[in-house]
Structure 1
Amino acid sequence: MKVSIRRRALLTNGVLTVLLLGGAGLVYAQLGTDQAAGETAVRTVTAGRGSVTASVSASGAVESSRSRALSFGTSGTVEKIYVKAGDKVAKGDILARLDDAAAQESLTAAKAAYDGAVSDGTGTAQLYAAYIKARNAYREAQRTVAATVLKAPFKGTITAVNGSVGGTSTGNTQSGQGAGASTGFIELADTTKLQLVGTFTESDAGRLKKGRQATITFDALPGVTATGKVTQIEPVAATSENVVRYPVTITFTKVPDQVRLGQTATVEVVTGRAENVVTVPSTAISTSGGRTTVTVLRDGRQVRTPVEVGVQGAALTEITSGVSEGDEIVPPSTPSTGQGTGGGQRFGGGFPGGGRR
């Protein structure tokens, strides 16, 4: 009886072991199948047809392309200031003047001496020399009187007044006013003629040419856009943190009313454009050892295919040979974004550029 019970227990345990092993096998087989399916699923994008735009960009501050730091042409005490920052003035408007009492006295004396020399005549060498000396002194006295008046050399907006009534002007700088040696007594700018000087990397600057059109956006003015063109590419570079950059001047051709001097802006210059061409995502292209390739899915196999590229934008790149419209391209592996695999996402059309040619 005891033997029978023991035999029954052994049989039962054996059956349970077989069932457990069989279940584990099924689970393992299922996991292996799922893993294989995951390995064979390939995400692809389809080469399309559309337009590609390449561009380079830089940032800078808005400034006037016509500005001047104005100073009196002689020294003296500031008697009157007629303007303040923000005032608009016309060419020839008087901006400020010095006390000219001493200059006027000198002018009167010089005029009398000159009149006397004219009366004496120039019949001898001595009389002629006296006449020339008196004439030059009179002209210099006239210039000194004129230099006590500061006038606007062109139409514009006053951007700064760096002096005050009662202060002393020494011609190019003002003492006691807190102005630097390079600062004018009054600063004037033409706000209708604006520019931006951006510093472009060595490679980007090499793609720029004078006359290329530019688009300018402003950090503080969302949605506001100005247009411009490249007017100057400096031949000498500036190196900062081992990066070589070239200053490039962009002159505005259209200035929105909201734009002000000193605002931070970003300029984008189009360097290349291609229409109705075969395109693939720029991220799908690899370059190594001077060889440019993409991975094409052909009959379920991933084939590394050499290609020739044209205009290269930030989003899309033009393919001139090696890939045809409709080819399935396998981009480099990226973390899952929740989109399905193998969906054949098609790329083409006017994606914004921002890369290089």
Structure 2
Amino acid sequence: MKAPLYTLAITIFLASCGSEKPKDKKAELEQLKKERTTLNGKIDKLEDELGQKKTAADFKDVVVTELAEVHFRNYVEVQGRVDAEDNVEIMPESPGTVTAIFVKVGQNVNKGQVLAQLDDKVLRQSVAQLQTQLDLATTVFNRQKNLWDQKIGTEVQYLTAKSQKEGLERQLAGLKSQAAQNKIKSPVSGTVDAMDLKLGASVAPGSPTGIRVVNASRLKVKALVSENYGGKVNQGDEVQVSLPDVPETLPAHISFAAKVIDPVSRGFNVEVKLPSSKKYRPNMVAILKIVDYKNDKALVVPVNSVQKSETSEYVFTAVNGKAKKIEIKTGKVSDGKAEVLSGLNAGDKVIITGFQDLNDGDGVKL
């Protein structure tokens, strides 16, 4: 039934074209518009008579998105944990028995501050005895020096007194250094996060004392990345850090990416420094979304609006009230968005809802 209508329309159009043409293009355009209006009216009348005129029910409701260039990022997502830059389990430098504890849990301490004292009674007695000997040797040396300055006595007497004095000074310095090792000091500034040390407990070098000092103002996220991304993830890359327990998401950059693949885990470590915040705590779970691809002028469509045939991918666009099937080529997919490499242009209206069961040329209503 449609073929006679098209034949009639073409016949009328050709007949009108056979009439005298206007002298200029503006007049020609106006003449063609009038002829088009006349033709549309005749076609509508014939469709009414034949019962073929489309009604609102013949148009499918759709939702479209107008394409525009956007920033597109593809991510490598890994799970890590928050760790402190300074998270130290304190160990003693010498063996001994704890005689005093000077700090408690939650107390802020400075680098080098004494946290506990080991028994150093014997050392203190040795230091006092050696100090007495040094005082005598210093007095003898000073007198001998005065005599030598006046050319009284022999050079050997002067040098002997000097040697005795300097030898005792070195011995005393060694004893004081040994005595200092009986003081358990904090190697970093921070907060005492654990204190399990008790008075009277025996400690030894290399064994934890039960004291932990954490600097919570210098935190980082540590994560293990699969070796598959060894060529894509590098120091300085953009990353989004998500802390589900806070909750919070913040932009950052990879501060460290190991160059060596661990032979056991088959991955490499990355670190991301965090800003100082009381909300962040060591050992919190963190999600790292590392940018391994970016396009600042990308066209993207919802990935579920992309349909596939045996040979290609395609979407439907809305053009002048009709659905138009367009073959496309997609790239990366991230956060439910597919990057369009070819087939579409900025300004195209892609149908994202209601595209099911659409055919090329179907009427659509936005």
TM band (smaller chain): 0.5 to 0.7
Please give the alpha-carbon distance, in whole angstroms, between the structure 1 residues aligned to 2:233 and 2:214.
28
User: Which residue matches 1:54?
Assistant: 74
Structure 2 counterparts to residues 1-357 of structure 1, below 5 A: 48-51=67-70, 52-119=72-139, 121=141, 124=156, 130-173=164-207, 183-221=208-246, 223-239=247-263, 244-255=266-277, 257-282=278-303, 284=306, 294-295=313-314, 307=329, 309=331, 312-325=333-346, 326=348, 341-342=356-357
Contact 2:65 2:351 in 1 (8 A): yes
Amino acid at match of 1:246: F
Residue 79 of structure 1: how far off its partner (Å):
0.9
Q: Deviations over 1:39-76 (max 9, x none)?
A: xx9x9997833532222222122111123232333222
SS at match of 2:356: coil
Contact 1:282 1:314 in 2 (8 A): no
Please give the alpha-carbon distance, in whole angstroms, between the structure 1 residues aligned to 2:298 and 2:170.
75
SS at match of 2:92: coil
Amino acid at match of 2:261: A
User: Which residue matches 2:3?
Assistant: none
SS at match of 2:340: strand
Amino acid at match of 1:251: K
Please give the alpha-carbon distance, in whole angstroms, between the structure 1 residues aligned to 2:299 and 2:327.
18
| TM-score normalised over the length of structure 2 | 0.62
Gap change, CA 1:308 and 1:266, over 3 Å in 2: closer
Please give the alpha-carbon distance, in whole angstroms, between the structure 2 residues aligned to 1:205 and 1:197.
16
Amino acid at match of 1:258: K
| TM-score normalised over the length of structure 1 | 0.63
Amino acid at match of 1:248: V
Contact 1:294 1:329 in 2 (8 A): no
Contact 1:274 1:318 in 2 (8 A): no
Q: Which runs of 5+ in 2 are unaligned?
A: 1-59, 146-154, 360-366
Contact 2:219 2:276 in 1 (8 A): no
Contact 1:228 1:254 in 2 (8 A): no
Please give the alpha-carbon distance, in whole angstroms, between the structure 2 residues aligned to 1:126 and 1:188.
49
Contact 1:56 1:268 in 2 (8 A): yes
Residue 128 of structure 1: how far off its partner (Å):
6.0
SS at match of 1:143: helix
The structure where helix makes up a greater share of residues is 2
Structure having the higher Rg: 2
Contact 2:133 2:168 in 1 (8 A): yes
Please give the alpha-carbon distance, in whole angstroms, between the structure 1 residues aligned to 2:132 and 2:97.
26
Gap change, CA 1:126 and 1:343, over 3 Å in 2: farther
Amino acid at match of 1:324: N
Gap change, CA 1:113 and 1:93, over 3 Å in 2: same
Q: Deviations over 1:266-312 (max 9, x none)?
A: 122334443453223457499xxxxx96346699998866x474x65
Gap change, CA 1:254 and 1:158, over 3 Å in 2: closer
* Percent pairwise identity: 18
Contact 2:323 2:358 in 1 (8 A): no
Gap change, CA 1:184 and 1:97, over 3 Å in 2: same
Residue 231 of structure 1: how far off its partner (Å):
0.9
Please give the alpha-carbon distance, in whole angstroms, between the structure 1 residues aligned to 2:341 and 2:355.
29
